[in-house]
Amino acid sequence: MTIEGGCRCGATRYAIAADHIDAIYCCHCTDCQRWSGSAFSEQAVVRENAISATGPVIEFTLTTPSGAQSHQRACGVCHNRLWNSNSSRPGIVTVRAGTLDHNRTLTPRAHIWTKSKQPWVVLPNDVPAFEENAPIAEFTAILTR
């Protein structure tokens, strides 16, 4: 089965070879707030070889504070950012979960960078939350359980 999504203008569509996506998290860091133009970003972690796209995908690269290369993919028409890979995490990509067609069915499994969370965002008590980045082993365990 595939899970589909796309940009706002419709020129770029993508498909993920998976039955369901469980690895969903929200990031409340100030970069995500600025980049999304919103209170936080919602992300879906999927295998890089599972995603394919049709349409005018453009790519741009930036260097993160840790020195890794972040490769961002966006629609070439409307510039809606869709997913990214990172040289420090080979083999996986992070999809902007709000661009998935079925985004209403997703439930975040973790919240990170809550120290910069907007004060009006109230998190559920039963979902793990981390002040900054989650320790990678713990984060992986939460997302893949």
The contact set with Zn ion (CB under 5 A) reads: 7, 9, 11, 27, 29, 32, 75, 77-78
Cα–Cα distance measured from residue 44 to residue 11, given in angstroms and rounded to the nearest whole number: 21
Kindly tell me which of 7 and 23 has the beta carbon lying closer to Zn ion: 7
Distance in Å, CB of 117 to Zn ion, minimum: 11
Asked if residue 6 lies in contact with residue 99, where contact means CB atoms within 8 angstroms, the answer is yes
Kindly tell me which of 49 and 68 has the beta carbon lying closer to Zn ion: 68
Distance in Å, CB of 19 to Zn ion, minimum: 26
Q: What angle do CA 81, 55, 106 make, to 5 degrees?
A: 50
Check residue 98 and report its DSSP letter.
Answer: G
Kindly tell me which of 9 and 39 has the beta carbon lying closer to Zn ion: 9
Distance in Å, CB of 56 to Zn ion, minimum: 8
Cα–Cα distance measured from residue 125 to residue 106, given in angstroms and rounded to the nearest whole number: 17
